[in-house]
Structure 1
């Protein structure tokens, strides 16, 4: 079964949703048969490479909300994150455009390290105050994951994987996705937002049941086969 997850590195609920989905997947009896694919999305593609201000100031300006109201919103998100074992620090966040980070994630995915890279960038952004728009940080992160530093630097200083990021975003638009995280199971079921783990568990079970081969029930005599017709004729 294929699960595609559209998310943005700069989205706090995406990190929380990742944890909740992972908790559900860990308890899923068919987890070894599930392929997870991380897809790119940008909440604010118009954001400059770096915003000269805090996360509070940025969201206050973007949403037209008073800063005290933004900080109150942050406290709610922090509490939800803490419930999933995450230590968000909104005062440390470096506000940066996430496009380069998404290109890095595509590079990591090409090397089979997409999930590890996603975790590293989300943690770096929300827990450690790292600059996800800084190529040096991304090169160091790649090296820590086992990627070749020169390959990472060449890719990010150039334009490699830009089309892949844009394609992910365009596909999200085509599917009607307007917010993240958004989870798509076998292109049949969609789950919007950082739902409780129980919601993901039920969705995984339902999607798996509908794609699995039929269980053939035995007849009264215990045989699985009853009289039937086939290409060779009838019994």
Structure 2
């Protein structure tokens, strides 16, 4: 969030179903002969350079509950800590982020009202919001994450900090 401070900008996040084909219950990939606990080199290198731990998971979860919980955290002002915590619980601790109890505990750990979060997830309070955000992204041609819009520029994929600085400077220059 260094860019937020440096440029006095507001980050707005939206949900995106990276794998909309994943059913409830997720997919177990551990029996796949090509499955490996090691991440591919480019992904692992990017994660390590960002100070993140990332292990390949044997289970690909249905992520709608995690996206709904993130939307709840956003509306509670705790999106960033929740996002960081959910990332760690999935990628570093191999926890099932489809599970309501897991998500509720993560929420509680970052200061969310766990009983309200649990009710929200069980009721599917944000399921329509998640679907609308996904459809909006698809209407712009977005097919991957992260997708970032800065001014009139839209791009996908992880980028170095300097790239964001360059794009923000260009947008500021164009708007003078």
TM-score (norm 1): 0.67
CA contact under 8 A between 1:38 and 1:114: conserved in structure 2? no
Q: Deviations over 1:154-176 (max 9, x none)?
A: 10111101111011101101111
Matched, 1:67 2:44: no
Please name the residue that 1:204 is paired with.
168
Q: Please say if 1:85 is aligned against 2:51.
A: yes
1:71 shift after superposition: 6.5
Displacement after TM superposition at 1:148 (Å): 1.2
Matched ranges for 1:86-125 at <5 A: 86-90=52-56, 92=57, 94-125=59-90
Answer with 1 or 2: which has the greater Rg.
1
Deviation of 1:93 after TM superposition, in Å, equals: 5.2
Secondary structure of the corresponding residue to residue 122 of structure 1: helix
Q: Runs of 5+ in structure 2 lacking a partner?
A: none
Equivalent residues of 2:28, 2:58 under 8 A apart: no
Give distance in 1, aligned partners of 2:30 and 2:106: 22
Aligned to 2:159: 195
> Where does 1:149-164 land on structure 2 (aligned, <5 Å)?
149-164=114-129
Q: Does 1:29 align with 2:22?
A: no
The TM-score normalised by the length of structure 2 is 0.88
CA contact under 8 A between 1:103 and 1:165: conserved in structure 2? Answer: yes
- Tell me, which stretches of 5 or more residues in structure 1 are unaligned? 1-21, 58-65, 215-235
- Over 3 Å counting, the alpha-carbon distance change for 1:126 and 1:50 in structure 2 is same
CA contact 2:70–2:82 (8 Å) conserved in 1: yes
Query: 1:185-204, CA deviations, whole angstroms, 9 ceiling, x for partnerless residues?
Result: 13x11122112222111012
**Aligned positions of 1:111-190 closer than 5 A:** 111-186=76-151, 188-190=152-154
Moved over 4 A (4+): 70-73
Q: Which residue of 2 aligns with 1:224?
A: none
